[in-house]
Amino acid sequence: MDAQKETFMEEARELLVKLESALLELEVVPDDTDQIDRAFRALHTIKGSGAMFGFDDIAEFTHDIETVFELLRDRKIAVTGELVSLSLSVCDQIKVMLEAYIGGPPADKDEAERILMSFREMVPEQDIGIKQPEEAPEKLHPHEEDESLGAEVTYRISFRPDRDILKNGTNPIHLLNELRALGECDITAHMEETPLLKDYAQEACYIYWDIVLTTGRGLNAIKDVFIFVEDTSDIKINVVDDGQDVNVSVDTKRLGEILVDRGDVSNDKLQSMLKNQKRIGEILVEKDVVCGGKVEVALAEQKHVKRTHEKIWRAAQTASVRVPAERLDELVDLVGELVTVQARLTQKAVHENDPELTAIAEDVENLTGGLRDNTMSVRMIQIGITFTSFRRLVRDLSADLGKNIVLKTSGGETELDKTVIDRLNDPMVHIIRNCIDHGIEFPDVRIQSNKPEMGTIHLSAEHSGAHVLIKISDDGAGLDPVAIMEKAEKNNIISKEIELSEKEIAQLVFAPGFSTAKEVTDVSGRGVGLDVVKRNVEALRGSVDINSKKGEGTTITLRLPLTLAIIEGFLVEIGGDKYILPLSSVEECVELRKEDSDQIGDSNILNVRGEIIPYVRLRKSFESLGEPPELEHVVITDVNGDRVGFVVDNVIGSYQTVIKSLGRAMRQSEDVSGATILGDGTVALILNIDKLVKAA
């Protein structure tokens, strides 16, 4: 049961994310029935599974909330801002309850009771009251069966209402719409019994229906639809497909088989008609064995079941397996060791000059590369999940500050390593809080500036080579260069004599202790924020850039690597030591002869096909011993949009790099972001080219 409890807690957290997302959507579109259903299903599943696995307090607490959402589904109460806020507090309370099971602080029972009392006040007096907390949750009503847990079953329903059903005030169309709400539904109306106009009774119902319904709500939910007409109508419900065979193919019963199964035609008559070349449906209608309406119903059933089979088949093909993150990390570590061993094998093959060994080494290299790419893809998740979690932050914080702000997102399908996403949360929270507090103006100020009363924060993500660019933009006041310079001079971050461009001034906000807030609040003003963002992003081997225009807004761009485990590197040699540059940043290599270097002198610039490119001498930066070779090489890279060269002794080429973290003695070295083990067992340092350029 411990393993099952862990599974429940993981699923409960995922359901809470869906619940929170649905609630935030409802705040924008209160009459969105799909979102109401999403919220209800999430609550219902948390309640049902919680009771099953021993989380009785969660099940009991959620039971009362679920009842309110059932009233929402029945349109007996309406979605209001108060209800959404209260429901979001339900999410927070359930999260605390979950954490209490793994050693977190106990949940506040008084807070839970306050939430429940507030919900009870929303229930109309004429409706059955919500069960009191001390009462055990009643057994689920049949139509409340959780569709997320029940198997999708296909039913054949024949509904022949009483001729006088309309006189009794019942509209059959409403019953059919209730069936549609249960799942995927195909309905065929039969009108062959409708008389001529002279014999037509206006209050009589001459139509009857055949329905094919696929639902996970169970047989009782279907019977409940007809509960008030079952005594006066002819109703037949049969199971066509129970949905249990996950290995089912997309093939379905033939038309003739369905008609025989329905009892509309005998098997003998069917077999005799099959001798003809026409379609079986046409034959049976021509021979007056069965009417066209019944063939139409059978065809509709055939198409419906085929769609259902295709859906089940596709789901079986794309089935997923839940794997603990620790196991994925272990797998990545093992693949990393395999890459290192493969490099040793390749080096040995080259050294031995054995064609057979070389062929084996090449095969192992190809297999290792495929395994590496597949393992990395397993750890990739869409960043949209993280984007969604910030909607709640923007909603609550903007309300606390009295601002009107909406969060918009794009590029949520962009994938990034799970480790990167996990460590990205805190920096993005800092940035979004700054956008809300410092960036977006108050509504009256925005109106005076001819801006919409509602401010906008936009999160976007896109791939850029081996990196992902995440942009956080706002349409607020932007940065004030004058105020930033005054604050920087006051805090002795820069001297008064220095002159900076607007872009360089904007970068000052990342200095430690920098803040332009006039007073300390719960949100900001303590000088802790963007410097932490910069430090955390650089710890992920990423970079931060900021662009702002006063009065128009600010955009902060995070440039992050796709993964932190294995990268394609570019191996170079300096003073007998090996170093790795990120291959994704390398654009080209050019030669640098000693006589050309002597002519250039200390200017550290190079003319490459008419383009002036600055370069950094790594031999000088690392204080390498000995004289440089007569022919050096310049590795030209892209560093934050600028082309910068690095002078090295020798270029070896691309190299699959397994990143190893540095020891404690090297952690303060900003020029190096990690290390890797080469095929011969020696260590090569991975260079942080952004820091090297900044230092130069």
366 within 8 A of 389, measured Cβ to Cβ = no
3-state helix, strand, coil in the chain (%, to 5): 45, 20, 35
Report phi then psi at 511, rounded to 5. Answer: -70, 145
Cα–Cα–Cα angle for 429, 431, 437, rounded to 5 degrees: 100
Could you give the CA distance from residue 642 to residue 506 in angstroms, rounded to a whole number?
Answer: 18
- Residue 521: predicted pLDDT: 53
DSSP secondary structure string, 336-390?
Answer: HHHHHHHHHHHHHHHHHT-HHHHHHHHHHHHHHHHHHHHHHHHTEEETHHHHHHH
* pLDDT confidence band for 645 (50 / 70 / 90): very high
- Residue 136: predicted pLDDT: 35
Q: Identify the CA nearest to 291 among candidates 424, 193, 155.
A: 193
Could you give the CA distance from residue 169 to residue 202 in angstroms, rounded to a whole number?
Answer: 14
- Residue 148: predicted pLDDT: 41
Q: Identify the CA nearest to 633 among candidates 570, 584, 696.
A: 570
Q: Cα 262 to the chain's mean position, in Å? A: 45
Could you give the CA distance from residue 434 to residue 481 in angstroms, rounded to a whole number?
Answer: 17
Residue 360's CB: how many other CB atoms inside 10 A? Answer: 14
- Residue 7: predicted pLDDT: 77
672 within 8 A of 685, measured Cβ to Cβ = yes
Q: Is residue 488 within a helix (H) or strand (E), and if so which, with residue range?
A: helix 481-490
> If you average pLDDT over residues 621-631, what whole number do you get?
85
Query: Which residues are 184's β-sheet partners?
Result: 214
Query: Which residues are 580's β-sheet partners?
Result: 571, 686
- Residue 580: predicted pLDDT: 92
Could you give the CA distance from residue 170 to residue 163 in angstroms, rounded to a whole number?
Answer: 11
- Residue 449 makes CB contacts below 8 A (sequence gap 6+) with 441, 551
Residue 528's CB: how many other CB atoms inside 10 A? Answer: 13
Could you give the CA distance from residue 595 to residue 618 in angstroms, rounded to a whole number?
Answer: 19
For residue 431 the two structure tokens come to 């940035």
Helix (H, G, I), strand (E, B) or coil at 186: strand
Q: Cα 362 to the chain's mean position, in Å? A: 37
What percentage of the chain reaches a pLDDT higher than 90?
14
Tell me, letter by letter, the H, E, C secondary structure of 647-670. Answer: EECEEEEEEEEECECCCHHHCCCC
Q: Identify the CA nearest to 454 among candidates 405, 503, 493.
A: 405
* pLDDT confidence band for 524 (50 / 70 / 90): low
The pLDDT tens digits of the residues spanning 157-168 come to 999 999 988 887
For residue 611 the two structure tokens come to 């383009």
Query: Which residues are 644's β-sheet partners?
Result: 637
- Residue 82 makes CB contacts below 8 A (sequence gap 6+) with none
172 within 8 A of 165, measured Cβ to Cβ = yes
- Residue 140: predicted pLDDT: 35
Q: Is residue 96 within a helix (H) or strand (E), and if so which, with residue range?
A: helix 81-100
Residue 250 has pLDDT above 80, yes or no: no
Mean pLDDT of the chain: 81
Residue 471 has pLDDT above 90, yes or no: yes
Classify each residue of 27-54 as buried b or exposed e, where b means 16 or more C-beta atoms within 10 Å of its C-beta: beebeeeebbbbbbbbbbbbbbbbbebe
584 within 8 A of 541, measured Cβ to Cβ = no
Residue 112 has pLDDT above 80, yes or no: yes
560 within 8 A of 420, measured Cβ to Cβ = yes
Q: Which of 15-29, 44-58, 274-288, 293-307 has the lowest mean pLDDT?
A: 274-288
Q: Regarding beta strands 586-593 and 631-639, do their DSSP bridges make them parallel or antiparallel, or are they unpaired?
A: antiparallel
Taken in order 434, 435, 438, 444, is the CA torsion positive or negative?
Answer: negative
Determine the number of helices (DSSP H) and then strands (DSSP E) in the chain: 22, 21
- Residue 526: predicted pLDDT: 40
DSSP secondary structure string, 214-238?
Answer: EESS-HHHHHHHTTTTTTTSEEEEE
Query: Which residues are 655's β-sheet partners?
Result: 569
- Residue 575 makes CB contacts below 8 A (sequence gap 6+) with 619, 622, 624, 625, 626, 649
Cα–Cα–Cα angle for 52, 57, 61, rounded to 5 degrees: 105
Region of residue 520 (left: phi > 0; alpha: psi -120 to 50; beta: else): beta
For residue 76 the two structure tokens come to 């007996």
- What's the DSSP call for residue 626? S
629 within 8 A of 592, measured Cβ to Cβ = no
* Sheet of 553-561, strand order: 405-410, 455-464, 467-474, 553-561, 543-549
The pLDDT tens digits of the residues spanning 576-613 come to 899 999 888 899 999 888 776 665 666 788 888 888 89
The pLDDT tens digits of the residues spanning 5-26 come to 777 888 888 889 888 888 888 8
* pLDDT confidence band for 472 (50 / 70 / 90): very high
> If you average pLDDT over residues 101-117, what whole number do you get?
86
| pTM attached to this predicted model | 0.62
The pLDDT tens digits of the residues spanning 368-403 come to 888 888 888 888 888 887 888 888 889 888 888 889
* pLDDT confidence band for 320 (50 / 70 / 90): low
Residue 126 has pLDDT above 60, yes or no: no
- Residue 253: predicted pLDDT: 66
Residue 246 has pLDDT above 50, yes or no: no
The pLDDT tens digits of the residues spanning 29-40 come to 888 888 888 888
In angstroms, the Cα distances linking 10 to 57, 99, 179, 417 are 17, 11, 33, 19
* pLDDT confidence band for 520 (50 / 70 / 90): very low
- Residue 470: predicted pLDDT: 92
Greatest distance between any 2 Cα atoms in the chain: 113
In a 10 Å sphere around its CB, with 0-12 CB exposed, 13-18 middle and 19+ buried, how is residue 387 labelled? buried
405 within 8 A of 440, measured Cβ to Cβ = yes
- With the CA atoms of 304, 309, 312 and 318 taken in that order, what torsion angle do they form, in degrees rounded to the nearest 10? -120
